[in-house]
Structure 1
Amino acid sequence: MTRPAENSSAPYACDPAKTRGRRLSEAESPTRTAFQRDRDRIVHSGAFRKLQYKTQVFVYHEGDYYRTRLTHSLEVAQIARSISRQLGLNEDLAEAVALAHDLGHTPFGHAGEDALDGAMQAYGGFDHNEQTFRILTELEARYAEFDGLNLTWETLEGAVKHNGPLTDPRPHLATFCDHWDLELDGWPSAEAQVAALADDIAYNNHDIDDGLRAGLFTVEDLSALPLVGPVLEEVQDRYPRLELPRWIHETIRRLINLMVEDLLGETRRRLAEQAPSTVDDIRKAGRAVVAFSETMRENDRVLRDFLFTRMYRHYLVNRQTLKARRVVSELFQLYMDQPNTLPAEWRQRAETADSARLRARVVADYIAGMTDRYALEAHRKVFDPYARF
Structure 2
Amino acid sequence: MDSLDLYDDADRERLVPEPPKRVDAPVRTPFERDRARVVHAAASRRLAAKTQVMGPQSDDFVRNRLTHSLEVAQVARDLSRALGSQPDIAETAALAHDLGHPPFGHNGERVLAELSEDCGGFEGNAQTLRLLTRLEAKTFDIEGRSVGLNLTRATLDACTKYPWPREQADAPGGVHSDGSPREVRKFGVYDDDLRVFGWLREGAAAGGRRRCLEAQVMDLADDVAYSVHDVEDGVVAGRIALTRLDPAAVWATVRDWYVPEADDAELDAVLAGLRTQDSWPTSPYDASRRSLAALKNLTSDLIGRFCGAVQHATFAAGDGPFLRYAADLVVPRTTQLEIAVLKGIAAHYVMQADDRLAAMDRQRELVMELVAVLAHRGAEALQRPYADDWHAASDDAGRLRAVIDQVASLTDASAVEWHHRLRSPRA
TM-score, structure 2 normalization: 0.77
Other-structure match for 1:116: 112
Distance verdict in 2 for CA 1:16–1:371, change over 3 Å: farther
Map of 1:140 onto structure 2: 136
For 1:238 and 1:16, locate their aligned partners in 2 and report how far apart those are by CA, in whole Å.
Answer: 53
Which one of the candidate residues 21, 25, 28 is aligned to 2:13? 21
Q: CA deviation at 1:42?
A: 0.9
* Structure 2 counterpart SS, 1:185: coil
Matches of 1:28 and 1:189 in 2, distance apart?
Answer: 28
Structure 1 unpaired stretches of 5+: 1-7
Paired position in structure 1 for 2:275: 230
**1:244: Cα distance to partner?**
3.3
1:66 equivalenced with 2:62 (yes/no)? yes
Task: Identify the residue that residue 296 of structure 2 maps to in structure 1.
Answer: 249
Counterpart check, 1:332 vs 2:371: yes
Structure 1 residues 347 and 15: alpha-carbon distance in aligned structure 2, compared to 1, 3 A threshold: closer
Are 2:382 and 1:382 aligned?
no
**Residue identity opposite 2:374 in structure 1:** Y
2:335 to 276, 296, 301: 296
Q: 1:232 to 1:326 in 2, by over 3 A?
A: farther
The residue number in structure 2 matching 1:3 is: none
TM-superposed deviation, 1:33? 0.7
Judge conservation of contact 2:212–2:325 (CA < 8 Å) in 1: no
Map 1:114-263 → 2, pairs under 5 A: 114-143=110-139, 146-160=146-160, 162=161, 168=169, 170-178=190-198, 181-182=201-202, 183=204, 185=208, 187-222=210-245, 224=247, 226-227=270-271, 229-230=274-275, 234-236=279-281, 243-263=290-310
| Equivalent position of 1:95 in the other structure | 91
> Unaligned stretches of 5+ in structure 2?
170-188, 248-267
Q: What's the CA shift string for 1:248-299, capped at 9, x where partnerless? A: 222222211211111112111123xxx33585652xx5xxx21321111122
CA contact (8 A) 2:47 2:65 kept: yes
Q: 1:221 to 1:108 in 2, by over 3 A?
A: farther
Amino acid at match of 1:137: T
Structure 1's 16 and 92: CA in aligned 2 closer, same or farther, altered over 3 A? farther
State the match for 1:368 in structure 2: 408
Change (3 A) 1:255 1:181: closer
Equivalent position to 1:320, from 359, 368, 386: 359
Distance in 2, matches of 1:294 and 1:151, equals 35
Change (3 A) 1:164 1:149: closer
Task: Give 1:5's aligned residue.
Answer: none
- The root-mean-square deviation of aligned C-alpha atoms, in Å, is 3.0
**Percent of residue pairs identical:** 32
The one-letter amino acid paired with 2:69 is: S
AA of the residue aligned to 2:403: V
Q: What amino acid sits opposite 1:329 in the alignment? A: M
Aligned letter for 2:293? R
Residue equivalent to 1:342: 382
Letter of the structure 2 residue corresponding to residue 210 of structure 1 = D
Query: Match of 1:236, SS?
Result: coil
Over 3 Å counting, the alpha-carbon distance change for 1:214 and 1:316 in structure 2 is: farther
SS in 2 for 1:338: helix
1:264 aligned onto 2:311: yes
Per-residue deviation at 1:121?
Answer: 2.6
Check the 8 A contact 2:243/2:283 in 1, yes or no: no
d(CA) in 2 for partners of 1:14, 1:321: 46
Determine the C-alpha separation between the residues in 1 that align with 2:296 and 2:320.
38
Deviations 1:155-200 (A, max 9, x none): 111111x457775554134343455644351534332321211111
Residue type at the aligned position of 1:154: A
1:27 maps to amino acid: P
**How far is 1:231 from its partner?**
5.3
Matched, 1:357 2:402: no
Deviations 1:83-136 (A, max 9, x none): 122222211111111111111111111111112112223332100111011111
Tell me if the contact between 1:205 and 1:255 (Cα under 8 Å) persists in the aligned partners.
Answer: yes
The structure carrying a bigger helix percent of its residues is: 1
Q: Per the alignment, in what secondary structure is the counterpart of residue 281 of structure 2?
A: helix
- Preserved contact between residue 80 and residue 90 of structure 2 (Cα < 8 Å): yes
Identify the range of structure 1 (362-371 vs 253-262) with the bigger mean alpha-carbon deviation.
Answer: 253-262
Q: How many residues align?
A: 370
Structure 1 residues 270 and 239, CA gap change in structure 2 (3 angstroms): farther
* Structure 1 counterpart of 2:411, one-letter code: T
Map Cα deviations across residues 12-34 of structure 1 (whole Å, 9 max, x no partner). x8526663511111124461111
Q: Secondary structure at the match of 1:104?
A: coil
Query: What is the 5 A alignment of 1:17-96?
Result: 19-29=11-21, 31-96=27-92
Task: Go from structure 1 to structure 2 and tell me whether the alpha carbon gap of 1:260 and 1:238 turns closer, same or farther (over 3 Å shift).
Answer: farther
Report deviation, 1:213. Answer: 2.1
TM-score after normalising by structure 1: 0.84
1-structure distance, mates of 2:232, 2:95? 21
Aligned in 2, Cα 1:231/1:319: closer, same or farther, shift over 3 Å? farther
| Cα drift, residue 57 of structure 1 | 1.7
TM-fit CA distance, 1:351: 5.0
Q: Structure 1 residues 258 and 222, CA, compared in 2 at 3 Å: closer, same or farther?
A: farther
Structure 1 CA distance for aligned equivalents of residues 291 and 226 of structure 2: 21
- 2-structure distance, mates of 1:316, 1:194: 34
Q: 1:222 to 1:93 in 2, by over 3 A?
A: farther
**Equivalent position SS for 1:60:** coil
